[in-house]
Amino acid sequence: MTAPDFRKRAIIAGVAESDIGRTPHLTELQLHAQAAKRALENAGIAKADVDGILSVTSARAVRMPAIQVAEYLGIIPAYTDSTSIGGSAFEAMVQHAAMAIAAGLCRTCLITYGSTQRSSAARSLTGTAAESWLPAAQFDMPYGLPMMAGAYALAAQRHMHLYGTRPEQLAEIAVAARAWARLNPRAWSREPLTVEDVLASPMISTPLRRLDCCLVTDGGGAVVVTSADRAPDLPHAPIHIWGSAEAHTHSSIAQMPDLTRTPAAITGPAAFNSAGITPRDIDVAEIYDSFTITTLMSLEDLGFCVKGEGGPFSEGGRLGPGGAFPINTHGGGLSYTHPGMFGIFLIIEAVRQLRRECGERQVANANLALCHGTGGALSSGATLILGREAR
């Protein structure tokens, strides 16, 4: 006899962004707190009821982010988590929160993120100064590969070599993101964008151009995960966790087992298996777009098209408003916002789509949504499948 699925014991009750874009008047902790306050209000849950805290930050100087955030908010948690796997951490944290709640360790988890990457100009092309004994400090950094663009460029180059993927096809992903962003008043970049514009943008590291790369913004987000038995008392209908999985395969791009096979190839099938559905059942997908190639390979690895077909699959406006396969409906990291890590914003948008709150950019009949985060140098992946109805 198998134990009941832990995912059925928890729901997503609330989501919110902090102020986003350019917020020089706010510190990272304030962004965590602002998003947390708004997400708890959205959930209809009091701070006093929070007994699980899951926080991570892109500022490496904050060595114990969950401790710092919990202190700032006045929370003494029974469950705590600072999973540091890059931008996919938040999808993994929803899984962790559900596990902790199902195990009875806590009842309500608050997941928070905040970054002032734009105002503090924290994104350096060389990457954050590393401890000199780290393998990457000795064997990668001396060669001046731009971080992270260079790592993703190596993957894109190999994908093009193996499968004939073309720059125009990568550009379609940026164009679709922009078309969605034009429907999102909170998006950073809202001017019209064409494939030609993307191809005319400056080359950063071949074959990736500036407009193949995500934005640098400030911002934060928060997600409230609580026990499913609380759902009847809450103002919003609960969002259900159908499936989830996480994986990582390497730290340095030099150690990636196969440059064109991302961790999504592990987490996609595992998440679909746990949900008992197939990629064809997904109505809307929020797929991390740190770079256009990130999304293109994730589409393949998650099973939305076969390996190597991500280029043709992305053509013809399929991914944009009115297209057959809507993704990154807020405008993605490419056009909406990207404060260091983007994973929490994938969840926020998926929940809003499933609640049918998205106005002009609402995908019709959105019942099942997939979120897939990617972290590091294609290092980590975490997939969530969320439903409007209980599984």
What residues are labeled active site? 288, 336
Residue 125 binds other proteins, judged by CB under 8 A: yes
Give the orientation angle of helix 149-163 with respect to helix 292-301, to 10 degrees.
50
For other proteins, give the closer residue by CB, 165 or 329. 165
Cα 27 to Cα 24, 65, 146, distances in angstroms: 8, 14, 27
Question: Of how many residues is the chain composed?
Answer: 391
* Binding of residue 252 to other proteins (CB under 8 A): yes
141 scored as a contact of other proteins (CB under 8 A): yes
Q: How far apart are CA 171 and CA 337, in angstroms?
A: 18
Rank residues 68 and 255 by Cβ distance to other proteins and give the closer one: 255
Q: What is the CA radius of gyration of the chain?
A: 19
Q: Is 121 among the residues that bind other proteins (CB under 8 A)? A: no
**Residue 135 in the binding site for other proteins (CB under 8 A):** yes
Determine the interface stretch with other proteins among 146-154, 219-227, 262-270, 335-343 (rule: CB under 8 A): 146-154
Identified binder of other proteins from the candidate list 60, 103, 128, 138, rule CB under 8 A? 138
Please identify, using beta-carbon distances, which residue of 126 and 278 lies nearer to other proteins: 126
Cis link prior to 148 (omega < 30° from 0)? yes
Told to check if 200 binds other proteins by CB under 8 A, we report no
User: Which residue, 141 or 193, has its beta carbon nearer to other proteins?
Assistant: 141
Q: Are 55 and 69 in contact (CB under 8 A)?
A: yes
How many other β-carbons are positioned within 10 Å of the β-carbon of residue 246?
A: 26
Distance CA 66, CA 113 (A): 10
How is residue 302 written in tokens? 């998650």
Q: Mark the segment that binds other proteins (CB under 8 A) among 125-133, 234-242, 320-328, 341-349.
A: 125-133
Taking 3-state DSSP, the helix, strand and coil percentages for the chain, each rounded to the nearest 5, stand at 40, 20, 40
Query: At its nearest, how many Å lie between other proteins and the CB of residue 205?
Result: 5
By CB under 8 A, residue 205 contacts other proteins = yes
Beta carbon of residue 166, minimum distance to other proteins (angstroms, whole number): 16
322 contacts other proteins (rule: CB under 8 A)? no
State which of positions 157-186 bind other proteins (CB under 8 A).
Answer: 157-158, 161
| Closer of 68 and 201 to other proteins (Cβ) | 201
| Sole binder of other proteins in the list 56, 66, 100, 153 (CB under 8 A) | 153
Span interacting with other proteins, options 69-77, 96-104, 133-141, 227-235, rule CB under 8 A: 133-141
CA distance 283 to 368: 5
Does 194 interact with other proteins (rule: CB under 8 A)? Answer: no
Nearest approach in angstroms of CB 171 to other proteins is 17
The DSSP element (H or E) to which 19 belongs, if any, is none
In the block, tokens 């966790």 appear at: 241
Two tokens at 215? 């934005």
Question: Counting contacts by CB under 8 A, is residue 202 touching other proteins?
Answer: yes
d(C-alpha 147, C-alpha 282), whole Å: 33
Toward other proteins, which CB reaches closer, 84 or 255? Answer: 255
Shortest approach of other proteins to residue 183 CB, angstroms?
31
Specify the DSSP element, H or E, that contains 53.
strand 52-57
Which tokens is 184 given? 């999102």
DSSP string, 325-382: S-B-TT-IIIII--SS--HHHHHHHHHHHHTT--GGGPPTT--EEEEEEEETTTTEEE
Pick one of 44, 146, 308, 312: the residue that binds other proteins (CB under 8 A): 146
Binders of other proteins among residues 208 to 237 (CB under 8 A) are 208
Nearest to 175 by CA among 302, 298, 289: 289
Is residue 150 close enough to count as binding other proteins by CB under 8 A? yes
- The verdict on 273 binding other proteins (CB under 8 A) reads no
Residues lying near other proteins in the complex (CB under 8 A) are found at 124-127, 132-133, 135, 137-147, 150, 153-155, 157-158, 161, 202-208, 252-255, 259
